Amino acid sequence: MTIQDLFYPRGVAVTGSMAEGKLGYELVKQLVDGGALNIYACNPKRTSAFGVPAFESVSQIGQPVDLVVIASPTASVASVLRECGAAGIRAAVVISSGFSETGNQAGEMEIIQIARQLGIRVVGPNCAGIVNTANHLFATLETRPPAGKMAFISQSGALGGAVLSWAEEQGVGISKFVSYGNRADLDEIELLPYLAEDVETSVVALYIESVSDGRAFRQVVSEFTRKKPLVVIKSGRSKSGQRAALSHTGSMAGSDAVYEAVLAESGAIRVSSVEEMFDLCKGFASLPCPKGNKIAIVTNSGGPGILTADQAERAGLEVGEINLNLKANLKGFLPPNCSLNNPIDLTVQGSGDQYKRTLTTVLNEFDSAVAINVATPYLDSLPLAGGIASAAHSSGKPVVANFMAGPVVKESIRFLESNGIPNFPSGERAAVVLAHMARYARQADRVITYPPAPAPAGESPRASGSIVLEPDAMDWLRRNGFPVPPFRFAATPDEALQACREIGFPVVMKVVSPEILHKSDFGGVILNIQDESSADLAYAKLAGIARSISFTGVIVYPMVMKTQEIILGISIDPQFGPVILLGAGGIYTEIMRDISLRLAPVSNQTAWMMIRELKSFPVLQGARGQAGGDLDALATLISKVSELPFLFPQVSELDINPVFLLAQGVLIGDIRVVLRR
Amino acid sequence: MTIQDLFYPRGVAVTGSMAEGKLGYELVKQLVDGGALNIYACNPKRTSAFGVPAFESVSQIGQPVDLVVIASPTASVASVLRECGAAGIRAAVVISSGFSETGNQAGEMEIIQIARQLGIRVVGPNCAGIVNTANHLFATLETRPPAGKMAFISQSGALGGAVLSWAEEQGVGISKFVSYGNRADLDEIELLPYLAEDVETSVVALYIESVSDGRAFRQVVSEFTRKKPLVVIKSGRSKSGQRAALSHTGSMAGSDAVYEAVLAESGAIRVSSVEEMFDLCKGFASLPCPKGNKIAIVTNSGGPGILTADQAERAGLEVGEINLNLKANLKGFLPPNCSLNNPIDLTVQGSGDQYKRTLTTVLNEFDSAVAINVATPYLDSLPLAGGIASAAHSSGKPVVANFMAGPVVKESIRFLESNGIPNFPSGERAAVVLAHMARYARQADRVITYPPAPAPAGESPRASGSIVLEPDAMDWLRRNGFPVPPFRFAATPDEALQACREIGFPVVMKVVSPEILHKSDFGGVILNIQDESSADLAYAKLAGIARSISFTGVIVYPMVMKTQEIILGISIDPQFGPVILLGAGGIYTEIMRDISLRLAPVSNQTAWMMIRELKSFPVLQGARGQAGGDLDALATLISKVSELPFLFPQVSELDINPVFLLAQGVLIGDIRVVLRR
């Protein structure tokens, strides 16, 4: 197993110049200073550094070597890899740059082909290296971090280095670190399964800018998060890039929203800053997860307690009331001026013993606690820290601290953290961590299975070029068993009248034109036409609108009485493939961004989860005496629509807007399909 | 002027025990160590501490004394104040506790009455004291903070102390500090106008748990924020307290939402944590405000740059593209591998000179900049800091830094901050600060005038007890010139038929019962009744619903064709008095919390601002080909409704739900009024 070779090599060869200040020299220095054993320097001049044995080539070492760290000039990396192959080395970290990141795709392809042929796995090229603190292995130029339970995988070398530098100050230790640079070979897809089994690691943080295979990523993350928490920073895409998308639905389903949906569904915790990443990793690395949502807040100052309670509720925790039984217990040892609501305010007189007994008492019924100490220079915080640590240990439940502020609490914070109680700069940040941990615990044991994509079948809708006219799209849907209302196409005033008669008044008439994508923006939809003379006028108006561009005719439907409206969209994401979007509330979809996204296809069960995710779910279900819609029929429709891009791979975009949500069943009110050319 | 006496006293008397470790002793120590001059100890035994002159009473000092700091036993505070009165001392800081906070309201009232009689202004009692760094005056037991431009007023002594302890670590200096404890006399209402004129102070932070006179607070804050920025932490009220509110509208307008609305309208910046408070104060204290929204991001690592851009956009800044002209300039001195989009990525090779020239170039067109340096141990960050500082100074525009991470950037951060460039732990936090500063600059020069409350006039609606039946409420509205549809009340089946005929089919019929507050929850509203037989059935159904409780009759209206719906509510907030709530979208109001709140009354102009604040404003205005509503008529209605609680002071709650928003005008669809008993 080569990933094991990477982290636990019997020997490490470093290639590249050993002249002072050069990469090879610095790498040997790091490895030696860090305490790794069996380091060998390899370079054409057989120069050593720091007294390690030196050879001309890795093939001459004559001792077991499992890992090579390559800092040789770009042009020699290929030959170094060939020598490694001959020497039986199966793991390489290529620090050297000058490959695809500078446009040298050919050079990168060459070294990867060589590595593949010789069975060598590569981290890099153009990477910041790897760390395994358990093994004192620091094959990187970055700061050596303290040992701990957090593994960090970074697509950015610079950010990776910053995180290593920052780890000690943030009170977080690192188990393993991998910067994979240009990701020419190994990346998170193989590293995550390894780290899922790594006993030194209890939480993984991942920084990504993109993924190469979206569906494989989803699968790996889903499996990983059943075993350990995964905290992800995914940097967003600029707005300007997203603006390019043509369709409205498409733009809402912009790629970053797809990442967001995939990460959420697969159980990862997405954060938006390195600080938040450290906060969460600190929590996960040092504490058991709360078994439920009930959080107690114990403080010696009212205000910060309330601010923490506010944030805890916002983050989804329950700042439950202290029940009478617990209150009676607390009254047994707390002075009468303490507030026994949650937050419990011990006042500035709160002692270490009071913190201990209060926390011990409430943790009998609560799932987690935040202990806040607003310190003053004339108060010794250390006994408080002692009381808190003691209560945390005896309860076995997660307790976090917020000792404010400045130098007067430095020593107490050190005490707390060395006793496994993480301290956060504010109670609010502490509450957010516990909220994430409780959510993780709730979902960790669920089994996620993704339905297989169906095979292509049947005919795409009739089209000229990429545009499908509404009558053709509706016809296609009807033939495929979708709930489509009766409709007629008409290309003359007489045909239009005949169509209205056949459908039966009141009717809706819409313009059909290959040039008009969003009909209602152009007044191209006329509702509630009651009689033949209105129908004549309507036809004339629609023909007039489209005359100067391209008028094909009109489509006539029966008028559907006002119901709740839904929108459904399919778009094809470059990283993740077909995506389905559900939006509620007609025009509210865009304004309120009340949407749910998933990779297609989705099962009926997932379709229901999407419906429940909508903010307007209570409205759809029937709120305040209003009738609810047929959500079973909607779920079936979502699932069926989600199969379309697989059944008909020519479909590149599809919007159903609106879907009428009836008391019984659903009806497709309009459809827009774009085919690949 | 006594507030001047408080901060710039010619002499300070400290009363209370001078035994080592006692409050009086510690206060004298702080004052002496801090460098204040003319300190006198006063206590019955004439004990001194730290060599300051000691007297039995303040009346014996015989030198000019403007401030007394009282740490005497609770029972002696009154007599100390009397002695101060005799000695001509007009400013007192009462550190002593044991007053209203322990239930001793009488003691507190006594000392305040004495102070009023003698013309003494009091800070406290039960407070943590005051600080004026400009004058080396530290009349507090808390940590002595470094001098700077931020004033801090705190309702919580403990939190105040924590902030002073933390200030140095956060890189923020303090100008003045006041902890006013039980706020028996002086509070923010008088301190803010003083600080608005204080040349040592450029930003004020305020921590409050409540205010005593909401309307005076609003006025003072509105005037203050025209001169200087005000950052406010207002700790929330627990959910359980808010749940108590009876009506739906009332609960949405819960007191914390009112604080939120008042703070926003009066130009204060509300934050939810001490960290955020420091961030903003640091920005305001060290930088000019950006004159516009365009922010440039210059980085040496892609990822953190993008995360910062994401957050900047979320916070309302514009991460605009670099125009061709600027790009051409940048290309003149940057290597080709730099990314010249915004964020501008100088890559890990970015030099101090490149930072300087890049920032100087883009600040010609952008309003502010974030300079990010993801440091590594083998990179000297100091030249980068130098380049950034130099560009910031020559541009005169606000530049903030994010130097990550850990010990390798400590020295550079010190350099930056001593050169007036604030550094933040993440680019995201830096962007939030600039966004707030740009928003503050935009609003700072606006003039806010609040319309006067109209005098009581006319009759309240007819009621038995506190409940007003719908026909009586509608009648009252009509008499007062509100847009009410025609309606009829009917108490028998025959009357109901007659009412329907008079109104004209289709009609709406609703139950009238003093026991049914939310009719639609009980099926008490029947829409779209088309003919007489349906009307008969409807009457029977409504009578049946209410029979077992209390059935008064039915009310009949014409059916209003589906339009957009609005809700309006009046509630009386205990701190702020009458409040008006505007909500959009019928049942969406609650689910989407799409609401806007103001203290009543509101002018037509403010009513328009409320309408524009709604997320669904584009829908109301007419989006995607749908007709817009008559928003002028709505604004007029809002303003008129906002006067009702003043015209009719008996009104304690009022909900208009829905208001039908027509193409021409508005119509009140339903009303619920509760009167004071």
Q: Are strands B507-512 and B553-558 parallel, antiparallel or unpaired?
A: antiparallel
CB B596, CB B258: distance < 8 Å? no
The distance of A424 to chain B (nearest Cα, Å) reads 11
pLDDT confidence bin for A367, thresholds 50/70/90: very high
Cross-strand bridge partners of residue A573: A577
Mutation target vs B (from A126, A143, A314; most B CBs, 10 A cutoff): A143
Q: Please state, in angstroms and rounded to a whole number, the distance separating the CA atoms of residues A625 and B522.
A: 7
Comparing CB atoms, the residue among A238, A273, A306 nearest residue B426 is A273
Q: Please state, in angstroms and rounded to a whole number, the distance separating the CA atoms of residues B521 and B323.
A: 58
| Residue of chain B with shortest Cα separation from A310 | B236
Most confident of A24-28, B160-164, B306-310: A24-28
Contacts of A341 in chain B (CB under 8 A): 238
pLDDT at A273: 87
**For B48-107, how does the pLDDT look when each residue is reduced to its tens digit (9 = 90+)?**
999 999 999 999 999 999 999 999 999 999 999 999 999 999 999 999 999 998 889 999
Comparing CB atoms, the residue among A272, A406, A521 nearest residue B143 is A406
Query: In the predicted model, what is the mean pLDDT of residues A19-38?
Result: 94
| Residue of chain A with shortest Cα separation from B309 | A238
Query: In the predicted model, what is the mean pLDDT of residues A508-521?
Result: 84
Q: Tell me the residue type at A556.
A: V
Cross-strand bridge partners of residue A174: A150
pLDDT > 50? residue B519: yes
**For A59-76, how does the pLDDT look when each residue is reduced to its tens digit (9 = 90+)?**
999 999 999 999 999 999
Comparing CB atoms, the residue among A236, A405, A592 nearest residue B162 is A405
Comparing CB atoms, the residue among B235, B321, B623 nearest residue A240 is B321
The pair of structure tokens assigned to B186 is 């002086």
pLDDT > 70? residue A586: no
Contacts of B304 in chain A (CB under 8 A): 159, 162, 274
| Residue of chain A with shortest Cα separation from B348 | A158
Q: Which range has the worst mean pLDDT, A188-202, B423-437, B497-511, B614-628?
A: B614-628
Radius of gyration of chain A (CA): 31
- Our measurement of the distance from residue B65's CA atom to the centroid of its chain's CA atoms, rounded to an integer in Å, reads 38
Straight-line distance from the first to the last Cα atom of chain B, in angstroms, rounded to the nearest whole number: 45
pLDDT confidence bin for A466, thresholds 50/70/90: confident
Query: In the predicted model, what is the mean pLDDT of residues A401-416?
Result: 90
Contacts of B275 in chain A (CB under 8 A): 425-426, 429
What residues contact residue A583 under an 8 Å CB cut-off, 6+ apart?
A249, A252, A566, A567, A568, A569, A589, A590, A594, A595, A596, A614
The distance of B625 to chain A (nearest Cα, Å) reads 5
Residues in chain B: 677
Kindly state the DSSP code that residue B94 receives in the 8-state scheme.
E
pLDDT > 60? residue A242: no
pLDDT at A625: 60
- ipTM score of complex: 0.85
- Our measurement of the distance from residue B389's CA atom to the centroid of its chain's CA atoms, rounded to an integer in Å, reads 33
Average pLDDT, chain B: 91
Mutation target vs B (from A168, A591, A593, A615; most B CBs, 10 A cutoff): A591
pLDDT > 80? residue A186: yes
**For A67-115, how does the pLDDT look when each residue is reduced to its tens digit (9 = 90+)?**
999 999 999 999 999 999 999 999 999 999 999 988 899 999 999 999 9
pLDDT at A485: 96
- Helix, strand, coil percentages (3-state) for chain A, rounded to 5, are 40, 20, 40
The pair of structure tokens assigned to B376 is 């590594």
pLDDT at B158: 84
Query: In the predicted model, what is the mean pLDDT of residues A233-256?
Result: 51
Q: Please state, in angstroms and rounded to a whole number, the distance separating the CA atoms of residues A349 and B102.
A: 14
For residues B624, B630, B636, B641, the Cα torsion angle rounded to the nearest 10 degrees is -80
CB B430, CB B416: distance < 8 Å? no
What residues contact residue A415 under an 8 Å CB cut-off, 6+ apart?
A382, A385, A386, A389
Q: Which of A80, A79, A44 minimizes the C-alpha distance to A65? A: A80
The distance of B306 to chain A (nearest Cα, Å) reads 6
For residues B303, B309, B310, B314, the Cα torsion angle rounded to the nearest 10 degrees is 160
Cα angle: A61, vertex A67, A70; to 5 degrees: 90
- DSSP codes, B491-554: SSHHHHHHHHHHH-SSEEEEEE-TT-SSGGGGT-EEEEE-SHHHHHHHHHHHHHHHHTT---EE
Average pLDDT, chain A: 91
- Our measurement of the distance from residue A588's CA atom to the centroid of its chain's CA atoms, rounded to an integer in Å, reads 25
**For B536-582, how does the pLDDT look when each residue is reduced to its tens digit (9 = 90+)?**
999 999 999 888 888 999 999 999 877 889 999 999 988 899 999 99
What residues contact residue B287 under an 8 Å CB cut-off, 6+ apart?
B398, B399, B400, B420, B422, B437
Other Cβ atoms within 10 Å of B24 Cβ, number = 23
pLDDT > 70? residue B415: yes
Kindly state the DSSP code that residue A408 receives in the 8-state scheme.
G
Chain B residues 369-388 with a CB less than 8 Å from chain A: 374-378
Chain A CB within 8 Å of residue B55 CB? no
Residues in chain A: 677
Q: Which of A453, A452, A403 minimizes the C-alpha distance to A424? A: A403
For residues B528, B534, B538, B539, the Cα torsion angle rounded to the nearest 10 degrees is 120
Chain A CB within 8 Å of residue B102 CB? yes
CB pairs under 8 A between A and B: 244
Q: Which of A365, A368, A367, A344 minimizes the C-alpha distance to A355? A: A344
Asked if B376 and A165 come within 8 Å (Cβ–Cβ), the reply is yes
Chain B CB within 8 Å of residue A623 CB? yes
Q: Which range has the worst mean pLDDT, A167-171, B432-436, B506-510, B569-573?
A: A167-171
Q: Please state, in angstroms and rounded to a whole number, the distance separating the CA atoms of residues B329 and B343.
A: 16
What residues contact residue A269 under an 8 Å CB cut-off, 6+ apart?
A229, A230, A231, A232, A263, A280, A436, A439, A440
**For B244-299, how does the pLDDT look when each residue is reduced to its tens digit (9 = 90+)?**
333 333 344 458 889 999 999 999 999 988 999 999 999 999 999 999 999 999 99
What residues contact residue A75 under an 8 Å CB cut-off, 6+ apart?
none
Helices then strands, counting H and E runs in chain A, come out as 24, 27
Percent of chain B surpassing pLDDT 70 = 96
Range list of β-strands (E), B349-461: 368-374, 399-404
Contacts of A522 in chain B (CB under 8 A): 625
Chain A CB within 8 Å of residue B302 CB? yes
Backbone angles phi, psi at A407, to 5 degrees: -60, -30
Chain B CB within 8 Å of residue A303 CB? yes
Backbone angles phi, psi at B155, to 5 degrees: -80, -20
Using CA of residue A192, residue A194, residue A196, residue A200, what is the dihedral sign? negative
Chain A CB within 8 Å of residue B273 CB? yes
pLDDT > 50? residue A462: yes
Q: Which of B325, B281, B576, B323 minimizes the C-alpha distance to B436? A: B281
pLDDT at B460: 84
Helix (H, G, I), strand (E, B) or coil at A572: strand
